[in-house]
């Protein structure tokens, strides 16, 4: 009868490389620790085995199995078999010292109590030999690696880039060690710079500390440096700016450790170094909002962000999502941007109640429908046309979207019980020379008008503006029920936003230039997107209605200097490798932007970085009439709209005003009567 049983294949145990290494190391340790005490006994008897007392050698031999188990147990407990000895450091050295001390005590106690007394030299010399043998095999691997790397550096066939490290502290030492221990990096640390004189002319892992920051230029030339690593995570923005300004005068590529946060987390490595950005050279402490105040303000609220897919709007959504809102509504006319931030937030905050809606702030019916369904508690109004030259070519669109769109959104918010409405404004609204800035000043005036009427208990006197009034009857409400607080936040140019000069300059540098600057003396205030959004959110917590909040953005920066620094940071010489061309001021552009009008005094807040501008008084009822006219002119697409805007925004002085259309402006005379009838 045939045997139908299937023979099982022999069991194969597959071991990883590190497991094999650990097993070999354990066998070595057993041999080394026992041999150490035999050598100690041999040395005690003048290196003559024949003189050795048989009792002593017998005691040693009988204790070998016991001591082997003790050593393995202690080494396992201290995780000596889990360390990567290629990167052995003081931690591993300390562990070996502790292990030697523990095993030495166990050996002396165990052999004396259970087997017999041994010579004093046996107990003293044995641990020393054991320590040398244990630490020797472990650190020899690292020594061989360093020796191999040093030999490779001397090979002419493998060229390495000379690197300078700024900072001889812990972070700098970690970077030096990583580069020296790596066989993959094609870099070599040639010198270190540090402002501590006590470290000068000394060495870290064989690398000389050449001197202080005053020696950077000479050291770059002396050592033929091609790349500089800034490794001082504790440096203040001013200190960092001063050092990086010196480095930017060289032709070297600059890299920087992000900051103390990464250092505290132990994220100090070549992979964590980032390219030095222009933001690093602004020389201003980054603005950080009070998370506690913002959290209390946002938490468990329904928050709407108009223009939520834009540069500012999307960052608003990110920071709002992090503060546990009851619901976040993204409203944008451009579906691609809205979809992008929607995907990002859903991935990062899976429990967030997120609503994404496509629509325009110029559509009253869409706005009323959205507010009626979701009833937002807080509105951040970031939707706007912001590109100055494009708006100069399409002035009516700036008014429709910015001014009328803000009015319609504010009105819908007021009617539907919104508690806080925060307008995103700009320093271009101050003494505007372009229609975009003038339209944003109109937005500020709209906010101030709404606030004034609400505080007077006359919210019902705020007209409802429609381009389709025949389809939408006026809303009736009790003005005593209206409590919406309207505020504006004004700040300067945002680094990295859509339309920012930085991305434009980078693209021009990538293509070999030229880098185009409108004027050599043009200056601007700058802030980062997170800073701008932090201000907007904190302003919402400070608001009582009618304020224009202004951030202390420090000193303005020359665009020409910004362009030159960016060229240097990219490893090129301005006007040599990359040309700079001056193209002249664009339509509506001025040499400098102001944060406040001369008439608006500054009032302090509890945060030294935030001020409040006192509103310029104007006749609110007359403003509403003029705004009605302005809407009519904008939707008639008349290029003469600038003239009408100038009569409303008295600080607006346009350079080019279209020829007045007498026939059309005669028609405006009848608008007052139409407006009165609608009221």
The answer to the question of residue 4 being in a domain is: no
CA angle 212, 218, 224 (to 5 degrees): 115
| pLDDT tens digit sequence for 193-229 | 998 888 888 888 778 898 888 889 999 999 999 888 8
Instruction: Report the distance separating Cα 668 and Cα 396, nearest Å.
Output: 16
Whether the CB-CB separation of 551 and 287 falls below 8 Å is answered with yes
Is 227 designated active site? no
Average pLDDT value for residue range 518-535: 78
In terms of domains, do 265 and 360 share one? no
Residues 145 and 180 in one domain: no
Mean pLDDT of 64-85: 82
Burial class (CB in 10 A: 0-12, 13-18, 19+), 100: buried
What is the per-residue pLDDT for 520?
84
Cα-Cα-Cα-Cα dihedral sign, residues 452, 455, 458, 463 = positive
Q: How confident is the model at residue 445 (pLDDT cuts 50, 70, 90)?
A: very high
CA 317 to chain centre: 16
Q: Which of 116, 151, 186 is the last residue of a domain?
A: 151
pLDDT value of residue 326: 94
Question: Does 214 fall in a domain?
Answer: yes
Residues 298 and 381 in one domain: yes
Greatest mean pLDDT among 146-160, 260-274, 442-456 lies in: 442-456
The DSSP 8-state label assigned to residue 404 in this structure reads I
Which of 386, 400, 408, 428 does the annotation list as catalytic? 428
Both 345 and 454 in one domain: the answer is: yes
Quick one: pLDDT at residue 358? 96
Same domain? For 388 and 486 the reply is yes
User: Is 506 inside any structural domain?
Assistant: no
Number of neighbouring beta carbons within 10 Å of residue 630: 25
Asked if the structure places residue 581 within a domain, the reply is no
User: ∠ CA 392-527-595 to the nearest 5 degrees?
Assistant: 60
Residues 95 and 186 in one domain: no
346 & 376 share domain: yes
Domain ends where: 131, 151, 171?
151
As a whole number of angstroms, the distance between CA 110 and CA 541 comes to 71
**In the predicted structure, residue 154 carries a pLDDT above the cut 60:** no
Please indicate, yes or no, if residue 28 is contained in any of the structural domains. Answer: yes
Tally of domains within the chain: 4
Please give the mean pLDDT across all residues of the chain: 80
Question: Helix or strand or coil: residue 165?
Answer: strand
For residue 180, the model assigns a pLDDT of: 72
The model's confidence at residue 348, banded by pLDDT at 50, 70 and 90, is very high
pTM of full prediction above 0.75: no
Helix (H) or strand (E) holding 610: strand 610-613
Q: Buried b / exposed e across 514-531, counting CB within 10 Å, b at 16+?
A: ebebbbeebbbbbbbbbb
Contact predicate 233/274, CB 8 Å: no
Same domain, 379 and 457: yes
- Residues 455 and 350 both lie in one domain: yes
* CATH number of the domain encompassing residue 173: 3.40.50.720
In contact, 262 and 268? CB cutoff 8 Å: yes
Same domain assignment for residues 338 and 379: yes
* DSSP conformational letter for 10: P
By the 8 A CB rule, do 308 and 317 touch? yes
Task: For 331-360, give the DSSP string.
Answer: EES-HHHHHHHHHHHHHH-TT--EEEEE--
Is residue 240 predicted with pLDDT exceeding 90? Answer: no
Region 475-492 average pLDDT:
86
Q: 436 lies in which domain range?
A: 291-495+525-552+595-613
pLDDT at res. 265: 36
Rounded to an integer, what distance in angstroms lies between the CA atom of residue 377 and that of residue 474? 23
Q: Is-contact 116 60, C-beta < 8 A?
A: no
Q: Mean of the pLDDT values across residues 131-155?
A: 68
Whether the CB-CB separation of 291 and 196 falls below 8 Å is answered with: no
Residue 270: pLDDT band with limits 50, 70, 90: very low
Examine residue 445 and say whether the peptide bond preceding it is cis (omega within 30 degrees of 0). Answer: no
Structure confidence by residue, pLDDT tens digits, 409-432: 999 999 999 999 999 998 888 888
Residues 6+ apart with CB under 8 A from 551: 287, 490, 491, 527, 531, 532, 535, 609, 610, 611
pLDDT confidence of residue 85:
59
Q: What integer is the mean pLDDT of 384-408? A: 92
- Helix, strand, coil % over all residues of the chain, rounded to 5: 50, 15, 35
Q: Measured in Å, how far apart are the chain's first and last C-alpha atoms?
A: 109
Both tokens assigned to 507? 């693209």
Both 34 and 118 in one domain: the answer is yes
Gap between the Cα atoms of 589 and 428, Å rounded:
9
> Which of the two residues, 352 and 231, has the higher pLDDT score?
352
Q: Which residue has the higher pLDDT, 91 or 213?
A: 213
Q: Is residue 561 part of a domain?
A: no
Task: Give yes or no: residues 75 and 209 share one domain.
Answer: no
Residue ending a domain, choose from 252, 276, 300: 276
Residue 313 lies in a domain: yes
Q: Give mean pLDDT, residues 582-590.
A: 75
Beta bridge partners of 330: 305, 356
| Residue 588 within a domain | no
């Amino acid at each position: 009868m045939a045997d139908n049983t299937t023979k099982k294949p022999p069991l194969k145990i597959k071991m990883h490389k590190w497991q094999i290494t650990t097993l070999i190391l354990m066998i070595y340790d057993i041999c080394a620790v026992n041999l150490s005490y035999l050598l100690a006994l041999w040395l005690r008897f003048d290196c003559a085995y024949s003189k050795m007392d048989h009792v002593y050698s017998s005691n040693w031999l009988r204790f070998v199995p016991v001591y082997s188990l003790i050593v393995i147990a202690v080494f396992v407990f201290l995780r000596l078999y889990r360390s990567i000895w290629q990167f052995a450091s003081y931690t591993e050295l300390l562990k070996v010292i502790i292990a030697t001390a523990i095993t030495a005590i166990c050996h002396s106690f165990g052999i004396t109590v259970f087997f017999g007394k041994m010579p004093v030299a046996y107990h003293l010399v044995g641990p020393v030999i054991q320590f040398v043998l244990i630490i020797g095999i472990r650190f020899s691997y690292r020594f061989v690696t360093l020796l191999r790397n040093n030999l490779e550096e001397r090979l002419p066939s493998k060229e390495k880039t000379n690197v300078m490290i700024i900072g001889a502290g812990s972070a700098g030492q970690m970077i030096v060690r990583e580069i020296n221990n790596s066989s993959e990096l094609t870099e070599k640390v040639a010198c270190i710079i540090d402002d501590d004189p006590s470290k000068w002319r000394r060495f870290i892992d064989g690398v000389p500390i050449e001197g202080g920051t005053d020696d950077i230029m000479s050291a770059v030339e002396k050592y033929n440096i091609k790349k500089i690593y800034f490794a001082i995570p504790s440096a203040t923005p001013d200190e960092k700016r001063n050092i990086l300004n010196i480095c930017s005068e060289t032709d070297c590529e600059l890299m920087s450790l992000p900051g103390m946060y990464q250092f505290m987390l132990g994220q100090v490595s070549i992979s964590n170094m980032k390219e030095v950005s222009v933001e690093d050279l602004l020389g201003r402490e980054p603005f950080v909002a009070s998370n506690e105040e913002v959290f209390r303000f946002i938490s468990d609220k329904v928050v709407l962000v108009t223009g939520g897919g834009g540069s500012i709007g999307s960052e608003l959504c990110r920071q709002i999502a992090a503060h546990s809102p009851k619901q976040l509504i993204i409203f944008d006319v451009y579906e691609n941007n809205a979809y992008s931030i929607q995907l990002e937030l859903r991935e990062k905050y899976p429990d967030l109640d997120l609503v994404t809606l496509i629509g325009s702030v110029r559509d009253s019916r869409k706005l009323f429908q959205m507010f009626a369904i979701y009833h937002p508690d807080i509105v951040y109004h970031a939707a706007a046309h912001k590109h100055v030259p494009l708006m100069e070519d399409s002035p009516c669109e700036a008014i429709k979207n910015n001014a009328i769109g803000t009015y319609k959104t504010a009105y819908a918010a007021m009617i539907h019980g919104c508690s806080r409405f925060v307008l995103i404004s700009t320093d271009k609204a101050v003494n505007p020379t372009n229609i975009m800035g003038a339209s944003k000043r109109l937005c500020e005036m709209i906010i101030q008008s709404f606030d004034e009427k609400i505080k007077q208990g006359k919210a019902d006197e705020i007209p409802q503006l429609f381009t389709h009034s025949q389809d939408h009857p006026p809303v009736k409400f009790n003005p005593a029920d209206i409590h919406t607080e309207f505020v504006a936040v004004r700040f300067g140019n945002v680094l990295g936003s859509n339309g920012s000069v930085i991305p434009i300059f980078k693209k021009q540098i990538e293509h070999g230039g030229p880098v185009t600057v409108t004027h050599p003396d043009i200056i601007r205030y700058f802030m980062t997107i997170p800073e701008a959004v932090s201000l907007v959110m904190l302003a919402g917590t400070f608001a009582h209605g009618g304020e224009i909040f202004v951030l202390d953005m420090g000193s303005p920066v020359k665009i020409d200097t910004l362009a030159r620094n960016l060229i240097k940071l990219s490893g090129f010489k301005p006007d040599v490798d990359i040309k700079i061309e001056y193209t002249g001021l664009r339509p509506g552009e001025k040499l400098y932007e102001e944060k406040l009008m001369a008439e608006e005094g500054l009032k302090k807040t509890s945060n030294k970085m935030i001020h409040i501008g006192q509103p310029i008084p104007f006749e609110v009822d007359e403003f509403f009439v003029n705004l009605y006219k302005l809407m009519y002119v904008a939707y008639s697409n008349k290029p003469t709209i600038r003239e009408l805007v100038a009569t409303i925004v008295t600080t607006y002085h346009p350079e080019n005003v279209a020829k007045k259309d007498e026939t059309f402006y005669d028609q405006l005379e009848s608008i007052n009567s139409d407006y009165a009838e609608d009221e």
